[in-house]
């Protein structure tokens, strides 16, 4: 848990100190443009500073004053469009950006910035909107067969050593994510939200560990008017997934859930929810009357009930904290696979300027960590008849999202995984590195 807390504490301590310096500069610039409203450079710097502090209204006010003095300032209109987009005023934002571009006097960099973001902003004004992201590439793993540390196993409580150690491998991967929203109409913004994910890997030397996953979630989101929150919505949904391991169907799930999202201005939200899923896991061939997957897998046929809380907070314009805490209760047909699981995830997203000024979109560097505590109800007689399995797992790493154009870019990830268990069969370390091109539409 120390690493999870460290990510949050680092952002919590550094952000206020940085914000204090930015606020001091904001006050100096405010005095400057009050005395010299014709100082365009000071106004644009004031807008940049107030945007970093998430005081979008102050930046909008400064730009509106500039346009009152000189309505032909295309750069001011461009900046105004981007600020309205941050507030979710998509139609007004699109109008300002299109007017700024139509004037024809912006430099190539400013035009590229509009071209990179205007399609997404215009899409948000549509009744039916579809977004698709694709990511392909190569991934290398130090322990692709997920072999235990020390090559040790327990079978019936007796320790055995294996001559087949952990094996490194490369694989190709393909990821596609689609998000669709359909507005029902009316002032509240009620809509149908659908999310679909497809993922596949092809191991070069260990094809039995290749995986394929298809999952989907859909349900309406209803907004509750006149609350103390900036946005309060309720979303019931249905969900399901199908997966393959090697050439065999391994796991199928289906279920339903509901969540409530509360918005705290444009920069923060909190969403608690609950979900039920039925699971079917391919049992394989029985060993002494017990399916082997029920012995070795953390998943087994049965059902899972999960309660969770997700949240996000933008500390500064270029720094966002994301987090999720969940508790799951799994009830399996095989009693030794019934379990309780606690899962904690956190990520800090840093948006940085790209290395070349003609790359119009900012890049994202995101360190993250995940902690999982998994405890089974009873001992598994085929592994250890006297000890119920208890695992604590860590995943931590850093992700990079580097758009190059409004459509194409690159993404990469470095991750270390460690699973500690009271049974040696399940102690495992793995280092994974992935990289490849992305495309979004």
Do 240 and 189 belong together in one domain?
Answer: yes
Q: Where is the domain boundary, 82, 97, 123?
A: 123
Global pTM value: 0.84
- 157 in the same domain as 59: no
The whole-angstrom distance between residue 413's C-alpha and the CA centroid of its chain comes to 13
Q: Are 89 and 188 contained in the same domain?
A: no
Length of the chain: 441
Same domain, 240 and 304: yes
CA 355 → CA 114, 117, 410, distances in Å? 19, 18, 14
* Mean pLDDT, rounded, for 148-167: 80
Q: At what angle do helices 56-69 and 40-52 cross, to 10 degrees?
A: 160
Q: What are 286's two structure tokens?
A: 């029985």
Highest mean pLDDT among 9-18, 144-153, 350-359: 350-359
Q: Which of 103, 123, 143 lies at the terminal end of a domain, its last residue?
A: 123
Residue 353 has pLDDT above 80, yes or no: yes
Tell which phi-psi region holds residue 156, choosing left (phi > 0), alpha (psi between -120 and 50) or beta.
left
Task: Using the 3D structure, point to which of 123, 158, 187 is the last residue of a domain.
Answer: 123
**Residues 155 and 34 occupy one common structural domain:** no
Q: In 3D, which of 378, 210, 417 has the Cα closest to residue 300?
A: 378
Q: Are residues 145 and 23 in the same domain?
A: no
Rounded to whole angstroms, the Cα distance separating 292 from 358 reads 56
Average pLDDT over residues 142-157: 84
The sign of the CA dihedral 350, 353, 354, 355 is: negative
Q: How many CB atoms lie within 10 A of CB 31?
A: 11
- Residue 293, pLDDT above cutoff 50: no
The pLDDT score that the predictor gives to residue 267 is 84
pLDDT at 432 over 90: yes
Residue 254: is its pLDDT beyond 90?
A: yes
Nearest to 266 by CA among 19, 18, 124, 85: 85
Is 132 a residue whose pLDDT tops 90? yes
Assess whether 45 and 147 both reside in one domain.
Answer: no
Domain count, the chain: 2
Angle, nearest 10°, between helix axes 90-103 and 74-86?
A: 160
Residue 214, domain extent: 128-440
The backbone torsions φ and ψ at residue 378, rounded to the nearest 5 degrees and listed phi first, read -135, 170
Average pLDDT, rounded, for the chain:
88
113 or 17, higher pLDDT: 113
Could you tell me if 19 and 136 lie in one domain? no
Angstrom distance (rounded) from CA 361 to CA 379:
53
Task: List, as one string, the DSSP characters of 383-435.
Answer: T-TT---EEEEEEEEEEEEEESSSSEEEEEEEEEEEEEESSGGG-EEEEEEEE
Q: What is the CATH number of the domain that holds 394?
A: 2.40.160
CATH number of the domain that 32 lies in? 1.25.40.10
- Do 24 and 172 lie in a common domain? no
Confidence category of residue 185, pLDDT binned at 50, 70, 90: confident
Q: Are residues 245 and 181 in the same domain?
A: yes
Residue 92 shares a structural domain with residue 191 = no
Encode pLDDT of 45-99 as tens digits: 888 888 888 888 889 998 998 888 888 899 999 999 999 998 888 899 999 999 9
**What pLDDT is stored for residue 360 in this prediction?**
84
DSSP string, 10-25: HHHHHHHHHHHHHHHH
CB-count exposure of residue 282 (10 Å: 0-12, 13-18, 19+) = middle
Helix, strand, or coil (residue 365): strand
Q: Please say if the pLDDT value at position 174 is more than 90.
A: yes
Q: Which residues contact 342 (CB under 8 A, 6 or more apart)?
A: 325, 326, 327, 372, 373
Q: Which of the pair, 273 or 153, is modelled with greater confidence?
A: 273
Same domain for 435 and 303: yes
- Counting residues of the chain whose pLDDT is more than 70, the rounded percentage is 92
């Amino acid at each position: 848990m120390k690493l999870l807390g460290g990510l949050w504490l680092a952002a919590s301590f550094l952000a206020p100190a940085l914000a204090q310096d930015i606020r001091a500069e904001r006050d100096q610039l405010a005095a400057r443009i009050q005395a010299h409203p014709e100082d365009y450079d000071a106004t644009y710097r004031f807008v940049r500073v107030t945007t970093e502090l998430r005081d979008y209204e102050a930046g909008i006010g400064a730009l509106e004053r500039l346009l009152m003095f000189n309505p032909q300032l295309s750069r001011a209109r461009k900046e105004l469009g981007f600020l309205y987009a941050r507030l979710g005023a998509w139609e007004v934002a699109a109008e300002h950006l299109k007017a700024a571009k139509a004037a024809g006097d912006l430099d190539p960099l400013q035009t590229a910035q509009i071209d990179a973001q205007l399609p997404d902003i215009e899409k948000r004004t549509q009744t039916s909107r579809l977004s698709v992201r694709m990511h392909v590439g190569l991934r290398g793993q130090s322990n692709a067969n997920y072999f235990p540390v020390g090559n040790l196993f327990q079978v019936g409580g007796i320790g055995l050593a294996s001559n087949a150690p952990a094996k490194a491998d490369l694989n190709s991967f393909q990821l596609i994510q689609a998000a669709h929203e359909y507005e029902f109409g009316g002032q509240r913004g009620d809509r149908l939200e659908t999310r679909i994910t497809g993922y596949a890997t092809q191991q070069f030397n260990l094809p039995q560990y290749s995986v394929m996953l298809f999952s989907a979630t859909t349900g309406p989101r209803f907004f509750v008017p006149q609350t103390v929150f900036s946005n309060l919505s309720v979303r019931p949904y249905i969900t399901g997934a199908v997966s393959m391991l090697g050439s065999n169907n391994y796991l199928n799930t289906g279920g339903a859930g509901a969540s409530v999202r509360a918005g705290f201005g444009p920069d923060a939200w909190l969403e608690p929810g609950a979900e039920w899923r039925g699971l079917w896991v391919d049992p394989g061939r029985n060993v002494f009357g017990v399916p082997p997957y029920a012995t070795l897998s953390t998943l087994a046929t049965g059902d899972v009930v999960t309660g969770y809380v997700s949240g996000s907070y933008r500390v500064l314009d270029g720094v966002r904290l994301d987090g999720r805490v969940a508790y799951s209760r799994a009830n399996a047909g095989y009693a030794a696979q019934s379990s309780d699981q606690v899962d904690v995830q956190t990520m800090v997203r840093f948006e940085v300027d790209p290395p070349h000024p003609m790359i119009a979109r900012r890049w994202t560097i995101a360190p993250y960590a995940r902690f999982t505590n998994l405890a089974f109800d009873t001992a598994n007689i085929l592994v250890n008849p006297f000890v119920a399995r208890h695992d604590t797992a860590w995943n931590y790493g850093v992700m990079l999202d580097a758009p190059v154009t409004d459509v194409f870019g690159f993404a990469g990830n470095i991750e270390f995984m460690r699973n500690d268990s009271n049974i040696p069969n399940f102690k495992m370390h793995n280092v994974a590195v992935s990289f490849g091109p992305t495309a979004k539409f």
